[in-house]
Structure 1
Amino acid sequence: MITTATLTRARLLLQAVKADNARWYCDKPGCDGLPHEGFPHHHARASQHPPTGAWTEWLLMTGRGWGKTRTAAELVRDWAKNPGTQIAVVAKKESLVRSICFEHKTSGLLHVIPKSDQARFNASGGSGRFFLQLKNGSTIYGFGAEVPDNLRGFAFDKAWFDEFAAWNKQTAQEVYDMMWYDLRESPSPQMVISTTPKPLKHVRDLVSKPGVVITRGHTKDNLPNLSAIALEKLERDYGKTRLGRQELAGELIESIEGALWDVTMFQDPVFRPDTMPPLEDIVVGVDPAVRSSEGADMTAFTVAARAEDAPGMFPDHLNHGYILEAIQGHYTPRDAMAKAGELARKYGASRVVLEANNGGEYLPTVLQMVAPGVPWKIVHAQQDKRGRAMPVATLYEQGRIHHYGGAEKFEDLESQMVTYTGAAGEKSPDLLDSMVWALTELFLSPVGHGDVIDQRIHAR
């Protein structure tokens, strides 16, 4: 006969087994987090252990999927074991605090903190009304980073900032500062910041701040818990790109001194719109290679557009431009002009803009042979690349040029933009040059077709 005492012992045994399986930290030096004697389940890698000694800020700046969320959640769980501890968790939006930091099925606080320790979870939302209360009196509050003043009036002992680099760059620093006011009464204030890096001021300032303990890591460090197929594809497609260095390797890509474009220009959400207004003109800019053999410069093509100047369309009341496509490759003159004609017809371009330096005056003839009826315009460079790129860079600084499509679509172009300085011996940035020709034609030159020499622009 099963008695109440038997059921109680069974329940306690089950709870003990669950608690044992929930253990996160082990003492094995350099542990890879895989099951071993005493830990028959996946657990913390050595790099996921909190810093030793006295510390106040721990920055987990790693690639996506490294295990940042689980690492921070386990630290919060550890903090909360001390009765009465008050902890703040802040993410970009309150909805993300709930779905990622609290409710994620493997890494959220509701998963890592044993149910037996939880007293009440209030998910009604609103400043101070979103929290997880534990039976020992510790409380974990959730906030969105949209409104810094929502943190006023609180007193916390510890804090977790999730995906700090994804926060609104206009308010991120203010939220950070506000939190330290909230930690003012804590006998041992500590903050863990988990993020995949972006080269934004509030991230750079944190990285350079004395006393911040930084853990860096690559997505592949957590391979046993990730899809090998997905990771292989990501490595193949993005591993050697700037995007891959940031999103997979967790590298903070800094701007290059002397470059006309800064990576921060690409971080504003309006830089990559999901929709476009009506367009009044579209051109295909071509930077042709002198030779088509392997190892020679590539021929580059950029499709750019100018939006209609409709009243109230843009806050600055100026025309805005859109980069629609940017590609490069090794082409024979005939194939290059066929590609230019193909792009012109695909996007409905009014003309193809051809740089005719280095003997390229024959290209319009080839274009008319392979793409009859496609309008063209010849331009001759009369400044070096940097000189003619500067006015176009100003358009970007004004926020008037947008890239229509994801970052991966323009990875090669944007990489050239943020790395080209014009130094002696520097490789010719073909995509950058084709983009400059296209935007110069749309915004900085008289509109027209035929054999036109732009006197402001000079040889390569």
Structure 2
Amino acid sequence: MAVVMPTPSTNDRAYTPLIREYKEHRARARKAGRKTVDSRRPKQHAPKGDWRIWLLHPGRAWGKGFTAAHWLRDRVVGGHARRIALVGSTNRHVRQVMIEDPLSGILKVCPDAVYRRSDAEVIWPNGAKAYVCSAENADKPPLRGGNFDTAWPDEVDSWGLETTNEKATTAWDNLTLSVRLGDARIIVTSTPKPGRIVAGLLVRARDEGDVVVTTGSTYENAANLSPQFIKDIERRFKGTRLERREIYGEVPEDVADSLWPPGVFHHRRVKADQCLRVAVGVDPSGGGDAIGIVAAGQLTPELFVVLDDWTTTGSPAKWARRTKELAEKWRADVVVAERNYGGDMVLSTLKAASTQMPVRMVTASRGKHIRAEPIALLYEQKKIAHRSGDAALDLLEEEQRFMTTTGYVGEG
């Protein structure tokens, strides 16, 4: 049964603070000239049909938060949303991004709504109520054991960055089980990075039909974006493997027999002093190909983390200098370099960059995909994670997807 907040009475002392808060809020809204104007593009309106979940995974700055907030407003005004779950990685994320964002937050889209921070709730004049929930509190009410008719989980595949992957999974499972009242519906907003939850929803959309998917390009919202932002995002992603994902909102298709399928990557926040040991690997290439330079550390006896990918092109002096800088950044215990291309030149080049750099030379005797198989297995066992918050590691993950049981099938 939906919970309806009683209509406040001016003679009821219990509701006097709430009445005052509503009046003050409306007065501020009128003074600031805040009006509810529907400026959505056609794709930002909810699809028709009897769907359960609406998944939004467009390119950057497309307006997915703006779309979700308007959808909530429509549900509240139409009487379909009485108990709403707002779910982010943390309570702070829900407050700052979903509720208080000055351009696309709930309070901007719904001027009559009131955010009661002490109670972690958003209340509308008709009694509809939204509850702040987070993955970090996945096992606690209101997410656990709650009863909702509407939910907005934001950036679902990033929940594990602020908490743990286990809590993120628990939060998602508890949420989907709790949205069960009336015309129960969920809007999921996410970047198009192929994490476990989004990948599962895409399969569900294809096989079951109760999930509808909307994607779109950054350029669709260009009228509301700074021209400099457009230039910056093009400078960063144009011509890279991430262009289709970050600008056009396309989730990469599965690669047949990939050693690193969608959902296999896990992420952690890591500081240099947390690692028991750190190694930097250098893979000089033949010809003019890129030189792989990657740092990895050991967090526990059973957990390793990829820290940085400084892969580069250029002269031996350049990649040797980059190797030295990366080793210094993470206080590496050893630099491991392949001698297959360059032989003793590799060692002498590294020593020329720094005589203090501890270098260990190795010779690769098998193909890359053969050597990658046991490493990929450790990813599946959650024994290898990637440091979160690094765009270079996003590109590394995209490249790893194209390493298959028969070899590398990507470009380059």
With structure 2 as the length reference, what TM-score do the two structures score? Answer: 0.74
Q: Which has the larger radius of gyration?
A: 1
Q: CA-to-partner distance for each residue in 1:257-314, whole Å, 9 max, x for gaps?
A: 3333345344x332x523343665645523232x3xxxxx41514254655xxxxx62
Number of the residue aligned with 1:140:
130
The percentage of aligned residue pairs carrying the same residue is 29
Number of the residue aligned with 1:329:
313
Mark the CA change 1:229 to 1:377 in structure 2 (over 3 Å): closer, same or farther: same
Shift of the alpha carbon at 1:104?
1.8
Number of the residue aligned with 1:275:
272
2:391 aligned residue (403, 408, 421): 408
Number of the residue aligned with 2:256:
257
Query: For residues 22-421 of structure 1, what are the structure 2 equivalents within 5 Å?
Result: 22-24=36-38, 43-82=39-78, 85-92=81-88, 93-115=90-112, 118=113, 121-125=115-119, 130-145=120-135, 146-150=137-141, 151-152=143-144, 154-168=146-160, 169-172=165-168, 174-179=170-175, 181-186=177-182, 188-209=183-204, 210-266=209-265, 268-270=266-268, 272-277=269-274, 282-289=279-286, 291=287, 297-304=288-295, 307=298, 314=300, 317-318=301-302, 320=304, 322-331=306-315, 336=316, 339-340=319-320, 343-344=323-324, 347=327, 353-357=336-340, 360-361=342-343, 363=345, 367=349, 373=355, 378-397=361-380, 399-401=382-384, 406-421=389-404
Q: CA-to-partner distance for each residue in 1:323-348, whole Å, 9 max, x for gaps?
A: 545323143xxxx1564266347736
Shift of the alpha carbon at 1:80?
1.5
Consecutive unaligned residues of structure 1, counting only runs of 5 or more, are: 1-10, 25-42, 292-296, 308-312, 430-460
Match of 2:166, SS state, is coil
Shift of the alpha carbon at 1:87?
3.1
User: Given that residues 89 and 97 in structure 1 are in contact (C-alpha distance below 8 angstroms), is that contact kept between their aligned partners in structure 2?
Assistant: no
Match of 1:191, SS state, is strand
Count of matched residue positions in the alignment of Structure 1 and Structure 2: 370
Determine the C-alpha separation between the residues in 2 that align with 1:84 and 1:263: 35
Mark the CA change 1:238 to 1:81 in structure 2 (over 3 Å): closer, same or farther: same
Match of 1:170, SS state, is helix
Determine the C-alpha separation between the residues in 1 that align with 2:327 and 2:273: 14
CA RMSD for the aligned pairs? Answer: 3.9
User: Given that residues 105 and 111 in structure 1 are in contact (C-alpha distance below 8 angstroms), is that contact kept between their aligned partners in structure 2?
Assistant: yes
Mark the CA change 1:78 to 1:239 in structure 2 (over 3 Å): closer, same or farther: same
Structure 1 range deviating more: 387-396 or 222-231: 387-396
